[in-house]
């Protein structure tokens, strides 16, 4: 049987495969994280009769420029790499079968000193 933890692990592998050079964390980043980083977490695991669906956030945190607080626009390349890697998800052992990028949005000042680019995906899997 799989659950939301397995799915986070699964998505983690695809984000890692994007080779962004940034540290990737599951659930949340450690206290005091000062550098650019990625956090993968889930919203609500929905168990249906034959399918399981899980909305997943892939949050890319980028430091604001210290002198003027402006957004570091180099985040665009990281976002593109992750989105391209996520789009390659098809299945694993016949179980994970569909991924959809629901939306992507910039969330300014999400965390002190950081801007965040959020990629929301929904992963649909077959029931065990």
pLDDT of residue 128: 60
More confident: 2 or 7: 7
Residue in 90, 93, 84 with CA at minimum distance from that of residue 58: 84
Q: Which residues pair with 118 in a beta bridge?
A: 59, 105
pLDDT tens figures, 95-105: 667 889 999 99
What are the CA-CA distances from residue 109 to residues 31, 35, 55, 63, 114 (Å)?
A: 17, 15, 23, 10, 6
Number of domains in the chain: 1
**How buried is 11 (Cβ within 10 angstroms: 0-12 exposed, 13-18 middle, 19+ buried)?**
buried
Note the Cα 42 to chain centre separation in Å: 9
Kindly report which listed range (34-38, 49-53, 89-93, 98-102) carries the lowest average pLDDT score.
49-53
Residue in 20, 33, 55, 4 with CA at minimum distance from that of residue 110: 33
Residue in 112, 12, 98, 100 with CA at minimum distance from that of residue 58: 12
Quote the domain boundaries for residue 110: 4-126
Say how many CA atoms lie within 13 Å of 67 toward its Cβ.
Answer: 0
Q: What is the CATH number for 60?
A: 3.30.2000.10
> What percentage of the chain reaches a pLDDT higher than 90?
47
pLDDT of residue 65: 77
Encoding tokens for residue 20? 């962004």
pLDDT exceeds 80 at position 72: no
In this prediction, residues 56-68 reach a mean pLDDT of 88
């Amino acid at each position: 049987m799989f659950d939301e933890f397995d799915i986070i692990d699964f998505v983690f592998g695809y984000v890692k495969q994007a080779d962004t050079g940034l540290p990737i964390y599951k659930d949340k980043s450690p206290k005091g994280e000062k550098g650019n980083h990625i956090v993968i977490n889930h919203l609500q695991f929905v168990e249906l009769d034959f399918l399981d669906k899980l909305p997943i956030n892939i949050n890319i945190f980028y430091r604001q420029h210290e002198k003027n607080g402006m957004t570091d626009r180099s985040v665009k390349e990281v976002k593109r790499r992750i989105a391209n890697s996520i789009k390659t998800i098809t299945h694993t052992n016949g179980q994970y079968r569909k991924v959809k990028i629901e939306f992507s949005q910039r969330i300014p000042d999400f965390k002190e000193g950081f801007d965040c680019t959020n990629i929301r995906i929904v992963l649909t899997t077959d029931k065990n």
